[in-house]
Amino acid sequence: MNTPKARQGFYAQLDENLATLRRDGLYKQERVIASRQGAEVVCDDGQTRINLCANNYLGLSGDETMVRAAVEATEEYGYGLSSVRFICGTQTVHKKLERALSEFLGMEDTILYAAAFDANGGVFEPLFDEQDAIISDALNHASIIDGIRLCKAARYRYRHNDMSDLEVQLHAAEGKRHKLIVTDGVFSMDGTVAQLDMICDLADRHGALVMIDECHATGFMGRTGRGTHEYRDVMGRIDIITGTLGKALGGAMGGFTAARREVVETLRQKSRPYLFSNSLAPAIAGASLHVLERLSASTDLRDRLHANTVHFRRAIADLGFTIKPGAHPIVPVMLFDAPVAQQFAQRLYELDVLVTGFFYPVVPMGEARVRVQLSAAHTSEQLDHALAAFKQAGLELGLLKS
């Protein structure tokens, strides 16, 4: 393209920045999958690989019943709405899904968004202003951080998962009109489960509200899969829940905020990503409704995920790998060194196992790892094959003693 000189500088600058990312090993390369998402995927080189890096916790992403439910909803409600909700973009399937989510989560009402990123981006600004305080875990998801930035409330940050620092920050926020504590229910890098019982106690003592982001929890955490609030036995004590339809609940896209009626009603009036963005596709609303019916009828998927998690955590530790302890299907296999994590992930890829290496700045310096994510769809044969590959790669790279 013939670019006028004045603009060349801009494009040259971008190329230079991209080259720097590549040089620093921070350039993100996308893998291309040629099949449905699942326990195994066919990659664009034609090779089938066991997938250990999707948020496909319940194994529903490529599931045939989901495809059927999406097709049925499309047949009935059409392909799209071409409208925001409040003009002419709300169908019965959207209202049914909002009711089903409220019931599943044990909340009064729910509002749908195009993504959880939007739910978090649009939750703070309509509800809180400069007279209020938002107290946020230091490792909260980027969408929470961005959402808080859009809001005029005073910001306080507590050290990750540190209850005594949370208390310090609550004291610092004393005198503010309303106080909101916000945390991921489960943190995606470590699988750490927020200490919601202690957080709710502190909130009660300091007259604060509590919000949790349940993207890595809805559908499978807790005895019946309601989420971290069920897991920590604080159902009924959480004020605001945000979550995604794009992970365990089928994996397409879509998000939600569940809360008291007054909160949801306010968001419908004022939340900008809701007011100024298109309605969720009927296929997603219908298929999500199908998921919630399925999860309410049986805990079999959640139970299978749990069994796979327990098996893999024990077996990988028995091989001699260091993992972050816990109970979540996110299993960080610690390699500490960034190049080692990259080589290890690459070797596993060659052995037909898909995992992602994470290193600084995504995780702290010296804490490089591959992050394994288990699914209810994994068979024990697949997990055993993956474990054998971990062992082989570990021996080859001198990470395990033979």
Ligand X SMILES: *Cc1c(COP(=O)(O)O)cnc(C)c1O
Known binding residues are: 141, 188, 244-247, 277-278, 371
Q: Is 56 in the site for ligand X (CB under 6 A)?
A: no
Cβ-based nearer residue to ligand X, 116 or 127: 116
Q: How far apart are CA 90 and CA 282, in angstroms?
A: 10
Residue 171, Ramachandran bin (φ over 0: left; ψ between -120 and 50: alpha; else beta)? alpha
Q: Is 105 in the site for ligand X (CB under 6 A)?
A: no
Judged by CB under 6 A, the stretch of 95-103, 114-122, 295-303, 384-392 that binds ligand X is 114-122
Work out how close the CB of 141 gets to ligand X at its nearest, in angstroms, rounded to a whole number.
4
Work out how close the CB of 133 gets to ligand X at its nearest, in angstroms, rounded to a whole number.
21
42 Cβ contact list (under 8 Å, min separation 6): 33, 34, 35, 48, 49
Candidates 141, 179, 306, 378: give the one binding ligand X (CB under 6 A).
141
388: part of which helix (H) or strand (E)? Answer: helix 380-396
Residues 156-185 that bind ligand X (CB under 6 A): 184
Work out how close the CB of 334 gets to ligand X at its nearest, in angstroms, rounded to a whole number.
21
Judged by CB under 6 A, the stretch of 102-110, 112-120, 192-200, 313-321 that binds ligand X is 112-120
Residues 242-261 that bind ligand X (CB under 6 A): 244, 246, 255
Candidates 74, 90, 188, 296: give the one binding ligand X (CB under 6 A).
188
Q: How far apart are CA 352 and CA 375, in angstroms?
A: 17
Q: How far is CA 99 from CA 96, 204, 318, in A?
A: 5, 28, 45
Q: Is 117 in the site for ligand X (CB under 6 A)?
A: yes
Angle at 218 between CA 294 and CA 266, to 5 degrees: 110
Give catalytic residue positions. Answer: 188, 216, 247
Q: Is 216 in the site for ligand X (CB under 6 A)?
A: yes
Q: Is 60 in the site for ligand X (CB under 6 A)?
A: no
143: part of which helix (H) or strand (E)? Answer: helix 142-149
374: part of which helix (H) or strand (E)? Answer: none
Residues 333-392 that bind ligand X (CB under 6 A): none
Strands (E), 146-293: 154-158, 179-184, 208-213, 240-244, 255-259
Cβ-based nearer residue to ligand X, 69 or 114: 114
- For the chain, the straight-line distance linking the first and the last C-alpha, in angstroms and rounded, comes to 57
Please check whether residue 249 is in contact with residue 326, taking contact to mean a CB–CB distance below 8 angstroms. Answer: no
Count residues binding ligand X (CB under 6 A).
14
Residues binding ligand X (CB under 6 A): 115-117, 120, 141, 143, 184, 188, 213, 215-216, 244, 246, 255
